[in-house]
Amino acid sequence: MIGENPIKQQLSALRAANPDITAAVLVTMDGFAVASDVAPEVDEEGLAALAADLIARASRSNQEFGNGILNELYARGPQGYLLIESVPNDQALACLAKSSSTVGLLLRDVRKAAAQMG
């Protein structure tokens, strides 16, 4: 689209490349959505706030145990996956995916998208 935000284009390209991804949101560490491409049933603001909270808590835990800076979080539930990948400039890429996803492909696609945003 003409004049569309380049980050939004990257998020849309990520979802097009892997149709199992139902939401892709670039979030600030304060919990605000910078840009998103989500299925209609996904609350992007809720996902942004949750992702920021989770990465802050996990980062603190990771550092306390001497594992350094946290790069990604990955959670699997019966209905699907939540992946949060760090992006430079104190941001993160939060993605939701279907439970039928191939995990290796999902991780590869999300990591690649996050690297391109940096």
pTM: 0.91
User: Is the residue at 73 inside a domain?
Assistant: yes
Q: What does the alpha-carbon distance between residue 107 and residue 83 come to, in Å, rounded to a whole number?
A: 8
Give me 43's structure tokens. 């609350």
Domain that holds residue 12: 6-117
Strand intervals (E) in the chain: 21-28, 33-38, 72-77, 80-87, 91-98
User: Is the residue at 90 inside a domain?
Assistant: yes
Q: What is residue 4's predicted lDDT score, i.e. its pLDDT?
A: 66
CATH number, domain containing residue 102: 3.30.450.30
Contact between residue 66 and residue 48 where contact means Cβ atoms under 8 Å apart: no
Nearest-Å Rg of the Cα atoms of the chain is 14
Q: Domains in the chain: how many in total?
A: 1
Q: What is the mean pLDDT of each run of 10 residues along the chain (118 residues)?
A: 76 97 96 95 95 93 90 94 93 96 96 91
Q: What is residue 1's predicted lDDT score, i.e. its pLDDT?
A: 43
User: Is the residue at 1 inside a domain?
Assistant: no
User: Is the residue at 51 inside a domain?
Assistant: yes
